[in-house]
């Protein structure tokens, strides 16, 4: 078996382009749910394959230092990407019930799409600065989410919108916010690969809300 750490990264990148596609299309009603399901199945297959490949890579090739960090991180990033796909797929369920799409939700969607793209770019270019920017921007995503929630709660209290509409909107925002968190985790793992530092749970970089 002649697998290398670069091959593991290539597999993650293939998986991530599928995940970005689902994230983009989940809020596009022109894309049918079956297409989303197809993408999600492919993502799940990658989930299994990358775990298996990383495991075998560690067992057979005894990687050290950066190669070992890559192998371990691939297993984590793999899980994060799978969850992003999952959240995106589930998001469609609530999104289709929304009658009005507020611009704030659109902004949040764009924001988290940018975040995941940034995290993936950071992996490709080994750029910890980019990764740090992604982690910092989670604050903005969280703020947006809070605003959206506040807004919906207001409107529901004032009977401006129906209960169902409000709940759906809040759920959509919640899923998007979770995708933002997962992108942050992805970026943290990129920093671990490049620098060997574990920067998780350090509050000066993100907002604890």
Q: Does 65 bind another protein (CB under 8 A)?
A: no
Phi-psi domain of 110 (left: phi exceeds 0; alpha: psi -120 through 50; beta: other):
alpha
Q: How far is the CB of 62 from another protein (least distance, A)?
A: 5
Q: How far apart are CA 125 and CA 61, in angstroms?
A: 24
The sign one gets for the Cα dihedral 26, 30, 36, 42 is negative
Rounded-to-integer distance, Cα 146 and Cα 117, Å: 23
| Contact stretch for another protein (CB under 8 A) within 55-63, 82-90, 145-153, 184-192 | 55-63
Closer residue to another protein, CB minimum distance, 51 or 121:
51
Exposed, middle or buried, 58 (CB in 10 Å: 0-12/13-18/19+)? middle
CB of 52 to another protein, least distance (A): 9
Q: Which residue has the tokens 């004032």?
A: 158
Residues 6+ apart with CB under 8 A from 81: 12, 15, 16, 19, 43, 46, 47, 182, 186
Q: For another protein, which is the closer residue by CB, 57 or 186?
A: 57
For residue 58, the SS3 value is helix
Q: Which stretch binds another protein (CB under 8 A): 37-45, 52-60, 66-74, 113-121?
A: 52-60
Give yes or no for residue 100 binding another protein (CB under 8 A): no
Which residue in the set 1, 157, 201, 208 belongs to the binding site for another protein (CB under 8 A)? 1
Q: Does 55 bind another protein (CB under 8 A)?
A: yes
The token pair that represents 201 in the structure block:
């749970």
The only residue of 62, 103, 158, 159 in contact with another protein, by rule CB under 8 A: 62
Count of residues that interact with another protein, criterion CB under 8 A: 8
Residue 95 tokens read as: 């999104």
Residue 48 as a binder of another protein (CB under 8 A): the answer is no
Stretch that binds another protein, among 54-62, 122-130, 166-174, 199-207 (CB under 8 A): 54-62
Binders of another protein among 161-200, rule CB under 8 A?
none
Shortest spacing between CB 55 and another protein, in angstroms: 6
Q: Which residues bind another protein (CB under 8 A)?
A: 1-2, 55-56, 59-62
């Amino acid at each position: 078996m002649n697998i290398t750490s670069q091959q593991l990264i290539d597999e993650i990148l293939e998986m991530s382009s599928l995940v970005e596609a689902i994230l983009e299309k989940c809020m596009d009603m022109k894309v049918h749910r079956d297409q989303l399901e197809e993408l999600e199945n492919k993502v799940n297959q990658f989930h299994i394959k990358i775990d298996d490949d990383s495991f075998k890579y560690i067992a057979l090739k005894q990687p050290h230092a950066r190669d070992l960090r890559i192998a371990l991180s691939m297993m984590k990033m793999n899980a994060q990407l799978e969850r992003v796909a999952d959240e995106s797929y589930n998001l469609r369920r609530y999104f289709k019930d929304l009658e009005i799409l507020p611009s704030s939700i659109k902004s949040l969607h764009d924001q988290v799409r940018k975040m995941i793209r940034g995290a993936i770019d950071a992996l490709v270019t080994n750029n910890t600065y980019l990764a740090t920017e992604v982690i910092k921007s989670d604050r903005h995503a969280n703020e947006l989410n809070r605003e959206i929630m506040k807004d919906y709660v207001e409107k529901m209290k004032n009977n401006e919108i129906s209960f169902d509409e409000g709940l759906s909107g809040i759920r959509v925002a919640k899923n998007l916010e979770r995708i933002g968190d997962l992108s942050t985790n992805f970026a943290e793992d990129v920093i671990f690969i490049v620098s060997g530092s574990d920067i998780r749970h350090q509050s000066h970089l993100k907002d604890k809300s």
